[in-house]
Amino acid sequence: MRRVTREARPFLRARTGPMGRLSAWSLLEFGQTLIGGYAVAQALDRGFLDGAPAVGLLWLAVAALAVLPAALATRGVFAGLADLVEPLRDGLVRRAVTRGLGEALDGGPADSRSVSRVTHQSEIARDGWGGLVLSLRSFVFTAVGALAGMAVLSPRLLLVVLPPLLAGIALFAVTLAPMAVHQRAYLDADEAFAAHTGTTAGALTDIAAAGGSPQVRERAARLTDDQTRAARSLARWAAARIVALGLCGALPPILLLLTAPWLLDHGLTTGGLLGAFTYLTQSLAPAVHALLTVLGTAGGRLVVVLDRFTRPLSLPSPPAAHPRHGHALPEAPLTAELRSVSFAYGPAARPVVDGLDLGLRPGERLAVVGPSGSGKSTLAALLAGVLPPTRGEVRWLGRPAASPDGPEPTALRTLLPQQAYIFTATLRDNLRYLRPGATDREITDALAELGADRLAERVGGLDAPVGPARLSQGERQLLALVRAHLTTVPLLVLDEATSHLDPAAEARAEDALARRPRTLVVIAHRLASARRADRVLLMDGAATEYGTPDELLARSARYRDLAGHWAPDHRIPQPR
C-alpha cells in the first residue's frame, strides 16, 4: 500500500493541469447542488406557502435549469478524464512489458502473469482509477455544495448533519488499508490455489504413481484454508463499510427529521427544512453511496493491481549472476536453507534428522554421504519440500518453502530419485517432461553435455518411441538426468540418481549438471562424488558433520573411516 502511494505521488504531481480542468468543470456540479436545495426552499417559503404559486413554480424552474450546466459539465469531465486515465494505463502496460521481457531474458520460468498484467490487470487499473476519480470528484463537489446550501439555509443544520457524515467518513477511512491488505491476501490465496490445481491437475497420474498424493492433498487443503480465512476477513471489513455507508448516507436525513422541531423553533423555515431534506436525499446520499461503492469495489481492486505492478520480482536474479563455486555475493539469498529442521517418520519414532541447520548457496555443489539408513534420502525429500519437517523450517530463495503465495515448488526445485521415471512416448516428450518449451537444439545440446547423445542416436533420435521396458536402468537414469538438466530451477537434488551409471559417466553427468547456474545436491554413493563437491554433509545421526572435503578428511575420523572403506569409484559400504 505504502509502495503504491509512493509511486502514485509523482504521477499525480505531473498531472496537476488535467486535475485543475476537471475541478473547473466540477464547479458546475457544485452550483447545481447548491441551487437545487435552495430553490426548493424558496419555492415553498416565498411561493406555495406564501400564497404565490407562480413564484413557487418559478423557483422550481430555476432548480430545473440548474441541471443544464451540470449536464454540460459531465461532458467536460469525461473529456478531461481521458488525460488522467490513459497515461496510467500506458505507463502500466509499458512497465509490464519491460518487466516481462526482463524476466524472459533473465531465463525465468515462462509466466502467464506478464500477459495478464499487460491485458487484464492494466484494464482493471484503468477502469478502477477512472471510476475513483469520477466518484471522488463528484462526492467532494456535491458534499461541499450541499453543506454550503444548508449553511445558507441555517448554520444549525450543519450541527445535525456534519457529525454523522464525518463519523462515517472516518470509519470508512479506517477500513481502507485493512481492506486493501485483505483483498490482496484473498487474491494471492486465490491465485496460489489456481496455480496449484493448474499444475497438479495435468499430472495426477504421475503424482499418484510417485506416491505424492498426500503432499498434494495437504497443500491443496492448506491453500483452501488460506482462501477461506482471507474471504472471512474481507467479509468482516465489508460489514464495517456498510455501517460507514449508513452513518454517512442514511443517518443525516433521519437526524434531520428527529431534530426538525428544534430547528424550526430556532429560525429554520418550513421551506428550509424541505430544502435541507432535498440536499441530503437527492444530492449527498447518492454521492456518498456512489463513492463508497466505487471505493469498496474498483478502489480495492485498483490498489491490489497497482501493488502487483509495483511489487518486486518474486524470483531473484538467476544464479548465473553468482559465482558457481566458492563464496556467493553477500546479498544473494540462499537457494535453500534448513533452519533447525527435525524429522521423524512417526510421533514415537526416533528422529531421522534432528535440529539440522544447513544453508545452500547459489551455484554450490553439496555431496551428502553417510551409511545406509542414516537419513540421506529423508534429507533430500525435506530439501525438496516433498516431506514437511516435523519441526523447524525449510526455505527456498529466502522464503518459506510452504509459502502459498510463493512460486510453485516445481519452478524452484527438481528432485531426481534413484528410480528414473521414463514413460512410453517419444524421446523428445520424455526429455521435455519438466520443461515443455525446450527446443530441439537445447535438447540436443543437453544430450551431448551429459554424454547421452550416443544413446539418443541408438534409440533412433528425438522422434523415436522409448519406454521403460526398452531401456536399462542406467540408460533410464541418464535420460532422467538430461531431463533435469533442461530445467531452469535453481535447486537440483539427485538422490542416488546416478547409481546405475559407470563412474566415468557419473562424473561427466555431475560435472555437466554443476556447470549450469544452479545449486546441486548429490546424495552420493561413491567417494568421487564427495571429492568433486564444494562441501560435504556427513549424515550419521547425532554425529552429523559438515565441511569441505579436505576439512572433513582432516578433522573427521568418521569421514576418514568412511573414505577409507571407499576406493574413489567404489560404492558406499552398506554396513547393515
Applying CB under 6 A, the residues found at the interface with ligand ATP are: 345, 352, 370, 372-378
**Judged by CB, which is closer to ligand ATP: 44, or 572?**
572
Beta bridge partners of 369: 538
State in angstroms the smallest separation of the CB of 121 from ligand ATP: 44
Which residue, 275 or 370, has its beta carbon nearer to ligand ATP? 370
Spatial separation of the C-alpha atoms in residues 575 and 562, rounded to whole Å: 11
Closest contact distance (angstroms) between CB of 513 and ligand ATP is 20
Phi/psi at 18 (5° precision): -55, -35
Joined grid coordinates for residue 148 = 454550503
Distance CA 109, CA 412 (A): 9
Per DSSP, the three-state class of 74 is helix
User: What burial class does residue 100 get, using C-beta atoms within 10 Å of its C-beta: 0-12 exposed, 13-18 middle, 19+ buried?
Assistant: middle
Query: Alpha helices, DSSP H only, in 66-121?
Result: 67-105, 112-116
259 versus 418: smaller Cβ distance to ligand ATP: 418
In the complex, minimum distance from the CB of residue 6 to ligand ATP, in angstroms, rounded to a whole number: 49
CA pair distance 444, 428, nearest whole angstrom: 10
The Cβ of residue 200 has, within 10 Å, a number of other Cβ atoms equal to 20
Closest distance to ligand ATP from the beta carbon of 373 (Å): 4
CA distances from 159 to 4, 155, 172, 173, 312 (A): 37, 7, 21, 22, 48
**Complex with ligand ATP: residue 227 or 377, whichever CB lies closer:** 377
**Toward ligand ATP, which CB reaches closer, 330 or 347?**
347
Q: Cell 491437475 sits at which residue?
A: 201
Please, which residue, 284 or 536, has the CB nearer to ligand ATP? 536
Smallest distance from the beta carbon of 472 to ligand ATP, in angstroms? 21
Say what the alpha-carbon torsion angle 508, 513, 516, 519 is, to the nearest 10 degrees.
-140
Q: In this structure, are residues 494 and 416 in contact, taking their beta carbons and an 8 Å threshold?
A: yes
Please, what is the minimum distance in Å from the beta carbon of residue 380 to ligand ATP?
Answer: 8
Closer of 41 and 572 to ligand ATP (Cβ): 572
Q: How far is the CB of 336 from ligand ATP (least distance, A)?
A: 17
Q: Which is nearer to ligand ATP, 47 or 370 (by Cβ)? A: 370
CB of 417 to ligand ATP, least distance (A): 10
Of 273, 252, 253, 246, give the one whose Cα is nearest residue 262.
273
